Amino acid sequence: MRVRELAIPGAWEFTPTVRVDPRGGFAEMFKASEFEQVVGRPFDLLQINSSTSAAGVLRGIHYTEDPPGQAKYVTCTRGAFVDVVVDLRPDSPTFGAWDSIIIDDVDRRWVFLSEGLGHALLSLADDSTVTYLCSLEYSPEFDHAVDALDPDIGIAWPTADREGRALHLLRSPKDAEAPRLRETAVARRGVA
């Protein structure tokens, strides 16, 4: 497995080696010993989620209050997504910065996000499916969102899908009404 730390400390890209033969392909998607060597701690799995999206569906930026925080290990099992990590840790030197990678059903990359990081996904193909492993069960009292189109964060979202067709963004009401980063409690903690 190839591992690359993203520009946001506490986030990594894991690209498995896919072995192909006449029967099909095989890849190790997670190996605790390798994960712990890279990240410096085990991954405590408490919940697994999956969602399917049409091209143009934009989910996030979602985050969980830290503490307790929620770490995620995310992959695309069908189609393709732009996966974006945003640093929402008020004391971090990269607070408000973001990085992105493409996760798809070809390279089978995974993204690990530590607690305190925000996460957003943009589907690049119809019926794209993402699966994410979580270190904390869903707790609505800790669940929050930041506007993924916040100009202060400035995420460079693609405007075309995998086939070059124009993407028309579709967001949930919760995501469309999410506050800008400077309006969130996490930002206020950074200036308090």
**Residue numbers annotated as active site:** 62, 132
Secondary structure (DSSP) of the chain:
-EEEE-SSTTEEEEEPPPEEETTEEE-----HHHHHHHHSS-----EEEEEEE-TTBEEEEEEE-TTT---EEEEEEESEEEEEEEE--TT-TTTT-EEEEEEETTT--EEEE-TTEEEEEEE-STTEEEEEEESS---GGGEEE--TT-TTT-----SB-TTSPBP--B--HHHHTPPPGGGSHHHHHHH-
Side chain identity at 13, as an amino acid letter? E
Q: Is the dihedral of CA 15, 35, 38, 9 positive or negative?
A: positive
Question: Is residue 158 reached through a cis peptide bond, with omega within 30 degrees of 0 on the bond before it?
Answer: no
